[in-house]
Structure 1
Amino acid sequence: MTLAGLSLRDLEYVVAVAELRHFGRAAERCAVSQPSLSAQIRKLEETLGLALFERTSRKVLLTPRGEPIVAQARVVLDEARRLMALADGSDGRLTGRLRLAAIHTLGPYLFPHILPPLRSIWPDLTLILSEGRTDALLEELRDGRIDAVLLALPVESDGLVAEPLFFEPFLLAHPIGHRLCGTPDLLLGDLDAGELLLLEEGHCLRDQALAACGLTARGGGVHATGLETLRHMVAAGAGCTLMPLLATRGVDGSTAGVGGLVEYRPFDGGKPPGRVVGLVWRASDPRDRGLRELADLLRRGTPAGTEPLLSQKVD
């Protein structure tokens, strides 16, 4: 086997199929026809002398021998991007493509705020946005499948750079006519744990809500799969919940109230419950300078009602 049988483009094809588990969608991402992509992957498999994928009529799976090959392909592609960054004179600035992800409870509400300034300052930067849960996104980040993540800090940052951006308070979301509607000076102690609605396990916001209310993880009860379902459960009168500030309003500042059925109220009594939102990327990324510039931009343009943060403010 010689290096002449390998190409970076073929490795991009392999990684795309491994991530999307679909040859057609992988071909669309790589801007190539599906027959061409399939043929090149077959050729690469012949060169390597092994099958990378298990192909069925329903899905595409990585073979056991294919998993380490794809992992190493990501490393090779990452190093190739590092080489190009050094060669094009960008000096670590953001150029080309940036794969930016966010946790489910943040992305839909923060992306509309940050896209206009990003497009204005880096018009030639190609943004690829995605969402997921914290653990899965950090795994994708470490594997090189994404470049940076917007999530709640702190996180295990071995090999990563974690820059805090802002503190986002939680508001109480309760249905109109709820017993707390007329309560002055709302405190966390006013909540009834039995009526607290939560996201299902695996969402960091669930753990943050439980911690804010001084509760331990609990099973049973009714849980929502996403923040919008949680909001509608509140509107239906099923209970109340802690809602991140950005999720309570539109980009224009209007209230996301599900037809006026949900009321949002801030907590009194000192610092409100909330979360620290930060930007995380690999410490080895050659665009460290540009990613720090991105963090500074996001910090300076924090949405109304949030508090910009400096690094030393995160424990």
Structure 2
Amino acid sequence: MLPLPSAQQLRYLIALSELRHFGRAAAACAVTQSTLSAGIMALERQLDAQLLDRTVGKKVVFTPLGHDIANKGRQALEALEAVPQLAAAARTPLTGALRLGIIPTIGPFLLTPLVKIIRLRFPQIVLSLTEDTTEHLLEKLSLGRLDMLVLAMPCLCDGTETLPLWQDPFHVVMPEGHDLSHLTHVPVERLENQRMIMMEDGHCLREQTLAVCRQGRGWDSSDGEGDSTFTATSLQTMVEMVELSLGIGVVPALAIENGLLQNHRVVARPLSGGPVWRTIGLAWRPRSPRAADFHTLASAFATLAPANRETPRPDLSAIGKKDTARSK
């Protein structure tokens, strides 16, 4: 009988395949770099196969066989981890650990009601929370370090199941007395030639803002990004930059409705024309044995949508059915 790789060996290989860096892969697996390297070398000896091309210096390059084995290992590890999860879900649904990830442009404004609704409706859930950028959360989800994410879509969420909850309209935030402040709604075309304050790279709101700006006729994304002298790490910082007349910013309604602009000498106007919103939604690994639990949680989370939203909420009545919605 052929010796089987251990789950830990597969985790090391998958982490290195995803991150392409020994240090980051080791950190993701909570081990030292030498431990991870030794584990992969032991797997190579066990399989009598070369998984990494070590002739290219410090770069992490998988051999074709190594790439195939990493993909198969990912499927095998997901199936192995699903066994105890499936048994636990069958015994007592909506109990046990839930490792939830949330992005920084949602977390400060939705975290409190999310935690409250989980404690009230699902008291047997043991919740842990991680706030990070979309890219990093998706990475942790794929490595099995998180169970479910609260994201803003559209995003590059390939390889996940996604479920939209509600739409979150965008507003333009500008200093008092700005040329656009007299408008009740700001057409996207009026963003042309405006100095935009963007979130820094890694935040999905940056890409969503650029997508909104591109709807304006004649708006050149390269010119717009080049003119974006100021970038912010948080919405709070963005509003302070706007107040200093360094530019204008695109901010989701969720943040404004939760007091982001309080005590700041700025005004906000809704955007109009084209898709001028993001969608708050959930994401998890495909074929998760806890999919029914996540649909139930989604049904509860959807009740947090502001009552004045004109967009319909998703039909969550078919609890447990596989969601086929994908982020574009």
Q: What TM-score do you get using the length of structure 1 for normalisation?
A: 0.71
How far did residue 237 of structure 1 move? 1.8
In the other structure, the counterpart of 1:164 is 164
Identity across the alignment (%): 30
Residues 113-156 of structure 1 show CA distances to partners (whole Å, capped at 9, x for unaligned) of 534544663542445554225xx977987897865443444679
- The gaps in structure 1 that reach 5 residues or longer are none
Aligned partners of 1:129 and 1:166: how far apart in 2?
20
In the other structure, the counterpart of 2:184 is 185
Residues 270, 239 of structure 1: alpha-carbon distance in 2 compared, 3 angstrom cutoff: closer
Aligned partners of 1:108 and 1:235: how far apart in 2?
20
Choose 305-314 or 42-51, whichever is displaced more. Answer: 305-314
Query: Could you tell me which of 249, 256, 260 is aligned with 1:241?
Result: 249
Aligned partners of 2:186 and 2:133: how far apart in 1?
32
Q: SS where residue 264 of structure 2 aligns? A: coil
Q: SS where residue 90 of structure 1 aligns? A: helix
Q: What TM-score do you get using the length of structure 2 for normalisation?
A: 0.68
On the 8 A contact 1:99/1:127 being kept in 2, the answer is yes
Aligned partners of 1:157 and 1:31: how far apart in 2?
25
Choose 92-101 or 190-199, whichever is displaced more. Answer: 92-101
How far did residue 290 of structure 1 move? 0.9
One-letter amino acid of the counterpart of residue 241, structure 1 = G
In the other structure, the counterpart of 1:124 is 126
Query: Could you tell me which of 296, 299, 302 is aligned with 2:299?
Result: 296
One-letter amino acid of the counterpart of residue 259, structure 2 = S
On the 8 A contact 1:75/1:144 being kept in 2, the answer is no
Residues 235-259 of structure 1 show CA distances to partners (whole Å, capped at 9, x for unaligned) of 342332321123446xxx43346x7
On the 8 A contact 1:302/1:308 being kept in 2, the answer is no
How far did residue 100 of structure 1 move? 4.6
Q: SS where residue 2 of structure 1 aligns? A: coil
Residues 36, 64 of structure 1: alpha-carbon distance in 2 compared, 3 angstrom cutoff: closer
Aligned partners of 2:268 and 2:112: how far apart in 1?
23
Aligned partners of 1:12 and 1:178: how far apart in 2?
53
* Aligned positions of 1:53-202 closer than 5 A: 61-65=60-64, 66-90=66-90, 93=93, 100-101=100-101, 105-106=105-106, 109-111=109-111, 113-118=113-118, 121=122, 123-132=125-134, 147-153=147-153, 161-181=161-181, 183=182, 185-188=184-187, 191=190, 193-195=192-194, 197=196, 199=198
Choose 295-304 or 28-37, whichever is displaced more. Answer: 28-37
Aligned partners of 1:175 and 1:285: how far apart in 2?
46
Choose 28-37 or 294-303, whichever is displaced more. Answer: 28-37
One-letter amino acid of the counterpart of residue 260, structure 1 = H
Q: SS where residue 254 of structure 1 aligns? A: coil
One-letter amino acid of the counterpart of residue 279, structure 2 = V
In the other structure, the counterpart of 1:284 is 287
One-letter amino acid of the counterpart of residue 289, structure 1 = A
Q: SS where residue 195 of structure 1 aligns? A: coil
On the 8 A contact 2:183/2:269 being kept in 1, the answer is no
Aligned partners of 2:84 and 2:139: how far apart in 1?
24
* C-alpha RMSD of the superposition: 4.6
Residues 252-306 of structure 1 show CA distances to partners (whole Å, capped at 9, x for unaligned) of x43346x735x13243999994232222335522211011012112212236876
Q: SS where residue 166 of structure 2 aligns? A: strand
How far did residue 22 of structure 1 move? 5.4
Residues 15, 94 of structure 1: alpha-carbon distance in 2 compared, 3 angstrom cutoff: farther
In the other structure, the counterpart of 2:320 is none
Aligned partners of 1:98 and 1:53: how far apart in 2?
38
Query: Could you tell me which of 241, 256, 260 is aligned with 1:255?
Result: 260
Aligned positions, number: 305
Residues 54, 309 of structure 1: alpha-carbon distance in 2 compared, 3 angstrom cutoff: farther
In the other structure, the counterpart of 1:3 is 3
Aligned partners of 1:60 and 1:148: how far apart in 2?
32
- The gaps in structure 2 that reach 5 residues or longer are 317-324
Aligned partners of 2:185 and 2:26: how far apart in 1?
54
In the other structure, the counterpart of 1:46 is 45
Query: Could you tell me which of 182, 205, 210 is aligned with 2:208?
Result: 205
One-letter amino acid of the counterpart of residue 40, structure 1 = G
Q: SS where residue 302 of structure 1 aligns? A: coil
Residues 69-121 of structure 1 show CA distances to partners (whole Å, capped at 9, x for unaligned) of 32322211111122222333536945666565556644565445534544663
On the 8 A contact 2:104/2:132 being kept in 1, the answer is no
How far did residue 175 of structure 1 move? 1.7
Aligned partners of 1:41 and 1:179: how far apart in 2?
60
Q: SS where residue 285 of structure 1 aligns? A: coil
In the other structure, the counterpart of 2:223 is 220
